[in-house]
Amino acid sequence: DAGVIQSPRHEVTEMGQEVTLRCKPISGHNSLFWYRQTMMRGLELLIYFNNNVPIDDSGMPEDRFSAKMPNASFSTLKIQPSEPRDSAVYFCASSFLGLFTVTDTQYFGPGTRLTVL
């Protein structure tokens, strides 16, 4: 398997522009997580989906952030409008949640490094 795929790997944009980050989870996985990594806050969860349904979005910083998962193989994280403080590395992770799964291992993509000027 190719693992979790994220695009783009790097994004540089100007303040006020819309930014869309993309993620393709591992085939067969049914849980998808978006994390953000910054120096100040480390790795923090933004939102997670199970079977394409958002389960917990309490980590989404504000209304400028939105995430969708239209099908099992694709998710987007959108920032509109972007601000310099959004500069960070954004990771997508996926896992399999089965009927008898107690805890699942999350597999991370390589991340998207976002710079907002």
Applying CB under 8 A, the residues found at the interface with other proteins are 4, 31, 33, 35, 41-45, 48, 50, 55-56, 59, 91, 93, 95, 97-98, 101-111
21 within 8 A of 69, measured Cβ to Cβ:
no
Q: How far is the CB of 40 from other proteins (least distance, A)?
A: 9
Q: Of the candidates 73, 71, 62, which has an alpha carbon nearest to the alpha carbon of residue 36? A: 62
Cβ nearer to other proteins, comparing 2 with 17:
2
Tell me phi and psi for residue 66, to 5 degrees: -145, 150
Distance in angstroms (rounded) separating the CA atoms of residues 85 and 37: 12
Cβ nearer to other proteins, comparing 74 with 107:
107
Cβ nearer to other proteins, comparing 79 with 111:
111
44 within 8 A of 36, measured Cβ to Cβ:
yes
Q: How far is the CB of 115 from other proteins (least distance, A)?
A: 15
